[in-house]
Structure 1
């Protein structure tokens, strides 16, 4: 299989509880519903890229448990190449504990499980996938050394390299930036990476310009209901968001990243790829769950 998009990252089983509001510290709160659904930023982005037009391969790890089998099967059902999804003996699969409130905001606790055992050597064993890719995507739910190796290898191979720095809480190593073609943080991640406040379009532009000064090729700051800001060597452009009534924002960012990557892999111009990602993300927030919320290309408005 020729995979135009290769995703190196996490696979989690999401355990989702819905409640009227998020609990406070030490509080026990009655919830409204509970369900399990395949997730993980890496797997979500792989599913989004596959549903939105690309041929995709996933590089990651699961545990030798029932969740691991389900996570792999979920990707295979999307025709995603899973030859590089390893099974770690004696380890649980990654799990995300998610609480979603009535306003569709969420709080998440992640247990890495097999994701924490994805080493640079694990990825290197499937270097042929990277060589055959057009776009390589990484996030931050696997060990930093693995992300660093993959970014550098992607640059060495001349591929289009995307880093979604999620979930970022601290600045990235400066050496990473020169390997990144598209850095795609949200507002809080852009703030964590730069130390600059990010709360509107102008402040997002300042943060993006700082990230470009440090070596990132182009930066897309996703702004939720305010859309996305694209900053490159040619200046900046704001892309307004489609107005929708959100139900669950889980995986909206992943849907955008996967849709954008698929657009690039399919030959779209950058702005067109951003719009594809935005339209897909707008649909995803109107649906519950991570991967189940991700739309197919045929669902996007022309």
Structure 2
């Protein structure tokens, strides 16, 4: 087991997602098959997934002073997360809109709201919890300064860090140096490649990613670089060691929102529990796949029993269970 809780430098948004036969054209009003309004945000998703895997979870989730903030406390209670994670900041609570088309592909727009108003001071006030964590996770619905502060505290204390830079923006070099595990999708990998002066096309080919792009990223800090590839699976490249390619796990996909968050959290938890990289990748792939089988994210994020059941059904053999 990890030596301490998972600390999530999170984000809270009120998420509205629509299932549509195809993405709407400019100026078009399109009839949706379903619309889901639920508590969300990449940070909240990471926290919920970690908790469903049995971890003690701590962290920071910013909410505003508007009506949308009322969604937060009941959501955390229902997810088994401590209300102490919530930090009230004047301004609008984060919000997001997502579309899922008939093929299960997604398109998302996020307004971070007060998630972007979290400061180094908020992080410093939780320095003790960060330093005693077993894993610190962050994503890019929060600003650069608090992530840098949290990761600096964590690394000085010998605590592992995981970054999912989504929605993508250039990663500050100091933050990349303080990142132990970097998880990106193919689009984010291509954007990161362009930002560091590599060929973005290397993100589109797993072999080139493993031999060229991932080592170039690892040279800037991360000990493990992971690229998710949707239904095609994922590939993990350690700075020292052998790359692990994980095939996608076929399921009946209805909504791919949140699959990347489920994957990242499960990978981080499995590695914090000292599973092998191959075992962690398999569990993460199963978690991501299961998340796509239900509409929305909050109730779709799976627990360990569902993950084990899927792996048994597909006759996949992890070394151990989460």
Instruction: Name the CA shift for 1:215/1:267 in 2 (closer, same or farther; >3 Å).
Output: closer
Instruction: Name the CA shift for 1:94/1:3 in 2 (closer, same or farther; >3 Å).
Output: farther
- Structure-2 residue corresponding to 1:183: 182
Range 18-27 or range 137-146, more displaced: 18-27
- Structure-2 residue corresponding to 1:224: 230
Q: Deviations over 1:179-230 (max 9, x none)?
A: 1111111111111111222223123323212101222211111111121111
User: Whole-Å Cα distance in 2 between the matches of residues 35 and 248 of structure 1?
Assistant: 11
Contact persistence 2:36–2:295 (CA under 8 A): no
User: Whole-Å Cα distance in 2 between the matches of residues 177 and 286 of structure 1?
Assistant: 33
- Structure-1 residue corresponding to 2:206: 201
Give ranges in structure 1 of 5+ residues lacking alignment.
none
User: Whole-Å Cα distance in 2 between the matches of residues 199 and 177 of structure 1?
Assistant: 22
For 1:130, what is the secondary structure of its paired residue?
Answer: helix
User: Whole-Å Cα distance in 2 between the matches of residues 285 and 204 of structure 1?
Assistant: 25
User: Whole-Å Cα distance in 1 between the matches of residues 286 and 255 of structure 2?
Assistant: 16
- Structure-1 residue corresponding to 2:34: 33
CA displacement at 1:79 relative to structure 2: 2.0
User: Whole-Å Cα distance in 2 between the matches of residues 212 and 146 of structure 1?
Assistant: 22
CA displacement at 1:19 relative to structure 2: 1.8
Contact persistence 2:64–2:93 (CA under 8 A): yes
User: Whole-Å Cα distance in 2 between the matches of residues 85 and 106 of structure 1?
Assistant: 28
- Structure-2 residue corresponding to 1:286: 293
- Structure-2 residue corresponding to 1:129: 129
Q: Do structure 1's residue 214 and structure 2's residue 190 form an aligned pair?
A: no
- Structure-1 residue corresponding to 2:247: 240
**1:46-85 aligned within 5 A:** 46-85=47-86
CA displacement at 1:288 relative to structure 2: 0.9
For 1:45, what is the secondary structure of its paired residue?
Answer: helix
User: Whole-Å Cα distance in 2 between the matches of residues 174 and 132 of structure 1?
Assistant: 25
CA displacement at 1:167 relative to structure 2: 1.4
User: Whole-Å Cα distance in 2 between the matches of residues 25 and 19 of structure 1?
Assistant: 15
Range 49-58 or range 198-207, more displaced: 198-207
Q: Do structure 1's residue 138 and structure 2's residue 143 form an aligned pair?
A: no
- Structure-1 residue corresponding to 2:318: none
- Structure-2 residue corresponding to 1:161: 161
For 2:254, what is the secondary structure of its paired residue?
Answer: coil
TM-score (norm 1): 0.93
User: Whole-Å Cα distance in 2 between the matches of residues 292 and 203 of structure 1?
Assistant: 37
- Structure-2 residue corresponding to 1:295: 302
Contact persistence 1:4–1:54 (CA under 8 A): yes
CA displacement at 1:43 relative to structure 2: 0.4
User: Whole-Å Cα distance in 2 between the matches of residues 225 and 29 of structure 1?
Assistant: 26
Q: CA RMSD in A?
A: 1.7
Range 77-86 or range 103-112, more displaced: 77-86
Instruction: Name the CA shift for 1:3/1:75 in 2 (closer, same or farther; >3 Å).
Output: farther
Contact persistence 1:163–1:184 (CA under 8 A): yes
Contact persistence 2:244–2:277 (CA under 8 A): no
User: Whole-Å Cα distance in 2 between the matches of residues 108 and 93 of structure 1?
Assistant: 17
CA displacement at 1:3 relative to structure 2: 5.3
- Structure-1 residue corresponding to 2:5: 4
Contact persistence 1:50–1:262 (CA under 8 A): no
Contact persistence 1:54–1:265 (CA under 8 A): no
